[in-house]
Amino acid sequence: LVSRKTRKEDTVILLPGDVVVGGSASVMVAGPCSIESEQQTRAVAAALQKAGVRVMRGGAFKPRTSPYDFQGLGMDGLRILREAADEYGLLTISEIVDPAHIEPSLDYVDIIQIGARNMQNFELLKAAGEVNKPVLLKRGLAATMEEFLHAAEYIMSRGNTQVMLIERGIRTYEKWTRNTLDISAVPILKQESHLPVLVDVTHSTGRKDILIPCAKAALAAGADGIMVEVHPDPATALSDAAQQLNFDEFNTFFDEVKASGLYR
């Protein structure tokens, strides 16, 4: 079902408010790593609305490497995200990690995110495949293209055809970036599949100083959209403090990406 062989035309995902993912328009998905408070979330929502962003991300269920790190606000976080997004006319995307949370999340998210660590959580993929809600599937930490597309197939095989893929870097020996951004994944996925392909420049690089060229490269390679983390005061963030952009940095980033002519 994911294959270009079975469907020639690009899949275009229609979101509320006439936001589309795939096709002729690029999409910018931005927001904090974690939903931390109402105040923090509303501040981000206001900044994104001002910048012309339509889709806000924010993690409520955080799959942290250490059990002692901030685990997210859970369903309260989803509620905070929804309220802030509604106030500023934005759409929401948040990671769900438990199949049992898929149904309850439907009132709060416009897009269900499945994280890199859960790309092969097959029960989660099946549960996401059974609802009528777009899903953004992240590439696993060390997933091959074949494994990534099979994971998407799990979702689609259960009936949900609204699937988007996102390259978020893979683990290599390189230490100067958090992960290695696999730009070749973009044209390969676009060629092999009809699904929209995004690139998460934040988690793939883990550093703020190379986001503009990486986003341009992603778009030049054919990506349908970009994901980036934005926080009112990154230094105090409860997760991923080193890699989130503040509002000024985000505005410069988005302006430069648009000015490149690659953002449609």
Q: Which residues bind to ligand PEP, rule: CB under 6 A? A: 33, 59, 63, 95, 115-117, 138, 168, 200, 203
Among 110, 167, 224, 240, binds Mn ion (CB under 5 A): 240
Which residue is at the shortest CB distance from ligand PEP? 115
Contact positions with Mn ion (CB under 5 A) in 23-42 = 33
Place of tokens 């988007």: 164
**Could you give the string, one character per residue 186-225, with x where binding to Mn ion holds by CB under 5 A and - elsewhere?**
----------------------------------------
Residue 231 interacting entry, from Mn ion, ligand PEP, none, C-beta within 5 to 8 Å by type: none
The minimum distance between CB 1 and ligand PEP, in angstroms, equals 23
First to last CA, the chain: 27
C-beta closer to ligand PEP: residue 4 or 117: 117
Instruction: Determine contact, residues 109/93, Cβ cutoff 8 Å.
Output: yes
Comparing CA positions, the residue from 56, 167, 185, 45 lying closest to residue 116 is 167
Instruction: Determine contact, residues 73/55, Cβ cutoff 8 Å.
Output: no
Comparing CA positions, the residue from 211, 205, 216 lying closest to residue 245 is 211
The minimum distance between CB 170 and ligand PEP, in angstroms, equals 10
Q: Say how many CA atoms lie within 13 Å of 225 toward its Cβ.
A: 25
Instruction: Determine contact, residues 185/160, Cβ cutoff 8 Å.
Output: no
The minimum distance between CB 141 and ligand PEP, in angstroms, equals 7
The minimum distance between CB 261 and ligand PEP, in angstroms, equals 27
- Could you tell me whether strands 135-138 and 197-200 are parallel, antiparallel, or unpaired per DSSP bridges? unpaired
Residue 168 interacting entry, from ligand PEP, Mn ion, none, C-beta within 5 to 8 Å by type: ligand PEP
* Beta-carbon contacts of residue 64 (< 8 Å; ≥ 6 apart): 70, 71, 239
Counting contacts by CB under 5 A, is residue 166 touching Mn ion? no
The minimum distance between CB 5 and ligand PEP, in angstroms, equals 28
C-beta closer to Mn ion: residue 94 or 193: 94
Phi, psi (deg, nearest 5) at residue 118: -110, 15
3-state secondary structure of 116: helix
The minimum distance between CB 24 and ligand PEP, in angstroms, equals 26
C-beta closer to Mn ion: residue 45 or 201: 201
Which residue is at the shortest CB distance from Mn ion? 33
Comparing CA positions, the residue from 170, 166, 123 lying closest to residue 144 is 170
